[in-house]
Structure formats: structure tokens, C-alpha cells
Chain A
Amino acid sequence: GQQLNQSPQSMFIQEGEDVSMNCTSSSIFNTWLWYKQDPGEGPVLLIALYKAGELTSNGRLTAQFGITRKDSFLNISASIPSDVGIYFCAGQLRGSQGNLIFGKGTKLSVKP
């Protein structure tokens, strides 16, 4: 089936550092979404991207929809301890209605 390759799988960083993670695919997507999951909870939507090249910010988070429509990245600036969690990218394939494909996640650990 369709796959999203998300990297890195995990990150251990110091508080205050910037973080970058990305997702790539061989398929073309018409929507990219980034979610964060805290322990014991469901994923929560952080940022949604709808146009190739779109760059969107949400506080310290910035995400971009790749020009080729096959990739996306998420940056977190000046990380804080509450950024800890698992971050997922998700994409909706062109021509698909409703169904999202999820990456395997990036587990972020922040050392105070």
C-alpha cells in the first residue's frame, strides 16, 4: 500500500534547541497534516497544509508542503519540555476522499 517515510524515528534534544522532522513519499498528496500525540491520548492536529509550497506557522511550529507534493517538513523552534511526544505526518492522496495515510511517527524527547 501507500507509504509515508517519516524521519527521524526519534530525537533527543536539549531544551531551547530547534527541531526538524520530515515526511516523504513516492506518491502525490493534496493535503499534508501534522499531528502530535501525548501519552495515553489520541493524536491532535497541529498544522494543516493544502497547497504545494505552502508554509504555515502555529506559534513555534512551522510546516511546509513540498513543491513536488510528495514531501513535507515540520520545524519546532526553541523547544520546551512540553514539546515531548510523538509527532505524526499524515497525507491525503490526490483523488482520495477522506482517507489519510500516516507516517510511523517521530518520538521527541526534550532534556530540561
Chain B
Amino acid sequence: DAGVIQSPRHEVTEMGQEVTLRCKPISGHDYLFWYRQTMMRGLELLIYFNNNVPIDDSGMPEDRFSAKMPNASFSTLKIQPSEPRDSAVYFCASTWAGDGYTFGSGTRLTVV
């Protein structure tokens, strides 16, 4: 298995632009998680899905953030409009039955 695949690896965008981050979980995994990592706050859970259904989005910072999982093999995290304080590394992770996540390599987002 290729593992959890995220794209792009790096994204630099101007403030106000829309940003879309993509994730392909490991085949057969039924949970998918979006995390944000910063020096100040560490790893923060943004949202997670079980069987493509959003279960807990209480970590999503504000309405500018949205996430979808249209099928078992794809999820997106969208920020619209982006702001400099959104700069961080965004990780996607997946697991089966909530047991020991596998993380992707992350997307480093810089908003200037």
C-alpha cells in the first residue's frame, strides 16, 4: 500500500485566495482525520470522518474552513478565504476501527 497520500506537499498562496488540500487514505480504512500542526499549538485535530460521514468538526477554526469526503478514497480540506494565520502543516491520517493512525507526509501551507 502506498500509505496516506496528500497533495500538494507545499502550497504558497496570497491572503484571500482559496486553498484546497487533498488526501487519499489507505484503502480499507474507515476513519479519516485532518490535523493542523504549528510550533505554538502542536497537533490539533480539525475534523474527522467515519465511513465518509463527518463525526466531529469542533476543531475547525471557523467558517472559512470546510472539509468533505465524497467517497472512501478521497477527502478535501478547503480554506476560503485564506489568512496568514492559517500557515501551518496540515496532516491527513487514516485508520481502521480507530486503531493506530497512519499519517500522510503533510501539506506545508504558507499564506502571504
Residue of B97, B98, B99, B106 near A41 (CB, 8 A) is B106
Q: With A99-B48, A102-B43 in contact, is A45–B98 under 8 Å at CB?
A: no
Q: How far is the CA of A105 from the CA of B38 in the complex (A)?
A: 12
Q: With A42-B106, A104-B42 in contact, is A48–B31 under 8 Å at CB?
A: no
Residues of B within 8 A of A45 (CB): 100-102
Q: Is A88 within 8 A of B43, CB to CB? A: yes
- In the complex, whether A110 has a CB less than 8 A from a CB of chain B is no
Q: Is B100 within 8 A of A48, CB to CB? A: yes
Residue of B4, B42, B50, B55 near A102 (CB, 8 A) is B42
8 A Cβ contacts from A20-63 to B: 31, 33, 35, 40-45, 48
Q: Is A42 within 8 A of B31, CB to CB? A: no
Report the tally of A-B residue pairs with Cβ distances under 8 A. 51
- In the complex, whether B26 has a CB less than 8 A from a CB of chain A is no
Summarize A's interface: helix, strand, loop or mixed: strand
8 A Cβ contacts from A74-94 to B: 88, 90, 92
Q: How far is the CA of A45 from the CA of B95 in the complex (A)?
A: 12
Query: A56 to nearest B CB, angstroms?
Result: 12
Interface size on B, residues (CB 8 A): 23
Residue of A31, A40, A99 near B45 (CB, 8 A) is A99
* B81-102 vs A, Cβ < 8 Å mask (1 yes, 0 no): 0000000000101010111111
Residues of A within 8 A of B103 (CB): 35, 42-44
Q: Is A99 within 8 A of B56, CB to CB? A: yes
Q: How far is the CA of A40 from the CA of B98 in the complex (A)?
A: 25
Taking beta carbons and an 8 Å cutoff, which residues of A are in contact with B?
31, 33, 35, 40-45, 48, 88, 90, 92, 97-105
Taking beta carbons and an 8 Å cutoff, which residues of B are in contact with A?
4, 31, 33, 42-43, 45, 48, 50, 55-56, 91, 93, 95, 97-106
Other contacts beyond A31-B99, A48-B99: 7, CB < 8 A: A40-B106, A43-B43, A43-B103, A48-B100, A99-B56, A100-B45, A105-B42
